[in-house]
Chains A and B, each alone.
Chain A
C-alpha cells in the first residue's frame, strides 16, 4: 500500500458544482496534513493545512478522519480558476527531521 494515495481523476465538473476529493494515508502516527494546489508546469502552492477539527477557508473545506486515515477537500461553487491538480501531503512520523510525503495528485477540470 502506498503511503499516501489519491484518485488521479480527472474530475470534470461544471462551474458552480460542489466537488470533493479524498486522500488516504497509511501511517497512523502522522500528525500534520496539508492540501496543495499545483497548476500546470508550476510549483505546488499551499492551499490549506488540515486540523483535527476540520477547517474552512471560503469555498474550501478540509477535514481529517483519523479513524479511517483519510483527509478530504471539499470545493463549493467551483470556478473555472479552480482547475488544477490538488496534492495532499502527510508528514512522516515524528522524528528529528520534518518530512512530507505527497500523493500523486487529483486533477480537477471545471467547465462552463
Chain B
C-alpha cells in the first residue's frame, strides 16, 4: 500500500496564478485533511472532509477551495495564489471516529509551494 500520496512535490507559482494540489489515499479511510505548515506556526488545518461528499472549513480556509472527488481523493485548489500562501502543504487521512484511537491521522509526503 502506498498510504497517502501527494502531487506535485514542489511547485513555484507567480502571484495570481492558480493550481490544484492532489491527494489520494489507499487505506479506505473516511476522513481526509489539508494542512499547511509554516515555521513557528505548526500544522494548521485548512479544510477537511469527514466523509465522502462532505467538506468543512478548518482554521485557515481563506484563499483555498477543496473537492472530495471520491473516497480516495481530496484536492486543494488555490484560485489566485498570494505570497502569503508560500508554505508546505500536507494531506492526511484517518478513519475519523472522534474520541477514539481511530482519530489517528496519516500524512502524505507534502508539497512545497513557493509563490513569488
Contact = CB atoms under 8 A, between A and B. Distances in A.
B96 A98 contact: yes
Interface residues of B, number: 30
Contact of B42 (A31, A87, A95): A87
A20 interface: no
A32 B94 CA distance: 13
Nearest to A105: B42
B98 A43 contact: no
Interface size class of A (residues with CB under 8 A): 20 to 34
Contacts of B33: 99
B103 interface: yes
A42 B111 CA distance: 10
A66 interface: no
By secondary structure, the A interface counts as loop
Contacts of B90: 43-44
Interface of B: 31, 33, 40-43, 45, 48, 50, 56, 58, 90, 94-110, 112
Given A43-B109, A100-B105, 19 more contacts: A31-B100, A32-B99, A32-B101, A32-B103, A34-B104, A41-B112, A42-B109, A42-B110, A44-B90, A46-B105, A49-B104, A92-B98, A97-B50, A97-B56, A98-B31, A98-B94, A98-B97, A98-B103, A104-B41
